[in-house]
Amino acid sequence: MTPRIETIDEKKLAGKRMKLSYANYRIAELWSGFMPKRKEIKNCLSTELISLVVYKPNHFTDFKMTNEFERWAAAEVSDFDDVPDEMETFVLPAGLYAVYDYKGSSAGSSSFFQQIYTVWLPASDYVLDNRPHFEVLGDKYKNNDPSSEEEVWIPIKPKVV
């Protein structure tokens, strides 16, 4: 389970957001509010969707199922000139990411993420960076389907020795 390491440029996103926790994970509510409106976004750069999470700096060091975070359902846009009503904007900062190709339904994702955070990351030359985490949901993404595919982007920075 080795990721590819990529640096991205800043990205502009338009979408909807909610405060969630893993104890109160209403992600279906977020996406059901976004999907009917996504066709109103006129300046999308692709058909891919972005599922983005903004964690508080201590989210993982003091992890509890009740820790709140901000989850976005969004699309990358060329600019913020024509954002539909009821949508907000977000600037994803440039940075270094560990990128994983995930295949399977969301049912298997907790062991997948546990492997990243407890095995790969501690053994790597990187530490978690305090920037948004996100998934790219492209043409092969099928919600809760065992054949679904998506990219998982984990923000990292080199370990200081």
Residue type, 121: L
pLDDT tens for residues 118-155? 999 999 999 999 999 999 999 999 887 889 899 999 99
Could you tell me the pTM of the whole model?
A: 0.92
- Confidence grade of residue 15 (pLDDT, cut at 50, 70, 90): very high
Q: What is the CATH number of the domain that holds 36?
A: 3.20.80.10
pLDDT tens digit sequence for 46-57: 999 999 999 998
Give the closest residue to 141 by CA, choosing from 31, 3, 10, 33. Answer: 31
What confidence category does residue 82 fall into, taking pLDDT thresholds of 50, 70 and 90? Answer: confident
Torsion, Cα 72 76 79 82, to 10 degrees, reads -70
User: pLDDT tens digits for 66-81?
Assistant: 999 999 999 999 999 9
Instruction: Give me the percent of the chain exceeding a pLDDT of 90.
Output: 76
Note down the domain range covering 24.
Answer: 4-158
Q: Are strands 133-137 and 149-158 parallel, antiparallel or unpaired?
A: antiparallel
* Number of domains comprising the chain: 1
